[in-house]
Copies of this chain bind each other. A is one copy, B any other.
Amino acid sequence: MPGGWRRGWRSGHGMPRWRRIARFVQPCLLLLLHQGPSHGYNLMESLKEFGFAEDPVDSGAVYRSLREMEEEGLVASEWDTEASAGPARRVYRLTAEGDRALAWWVAGLRETDRVLHRFLQAYDRHMEEDQGEHHG
């Protein structure tokens, strides 16, 4: 890997690009759309409130994800030219297929959650033992 970016554990010289949990944009968008139709720009704002405030999701990733999901039939869209201000919006809504996809994602994320807990518990447990045995 040629220089130009750095790893985050090296005292604050910069952060790696891949901080966030991966493959999380799609399920988040599906959940937001389950709560009602919306368009890309607004979904980006919603994602911030969702827990990505400090490190907002890239807009390119959001729009691409939406179009890919439309190709797969998980969402459907219509142009909304009547809206208040600014250019036309492509308003997405969840399909029945998207509803199933969301349920599938949630099942996977619950498993992820369990694995993550096992990892963190193992870390904490090991660190406690470590302190107890040799602390010099």
Contacts and interface: CB of A to CB of B under 8 A. Distances in A.
Given A103-B9, A115-B51, A118-B51, A35 B109 contact: no
11 contacts: A8-B104, A20-B115, A21-B22, A21-B23, A21-B115, A22-B23, A50-B118, A51-B118, A102-B123, A106-B120, A112-B116
Q: Is the interface of A mostly helix, strand, loop or mixed?
A: helix
Contacts of A123: 31, 102, 106
Q: How large is the interface on A (under 10, 10 to 19, 20 to 34, 35 or more residues)?
A: 35 or more
A34 interface: yes
Nearest to A104: B9
Contacts of A83: none
Interface of A: 1, 7-9, 18-24, 27-28, 31, 34-35, 50-52, 68, 71-72, 97, 100-106, 108-110, 112-120, 122-123, 126
A72 B28 CA distance: 33
Contacts of A19: 108
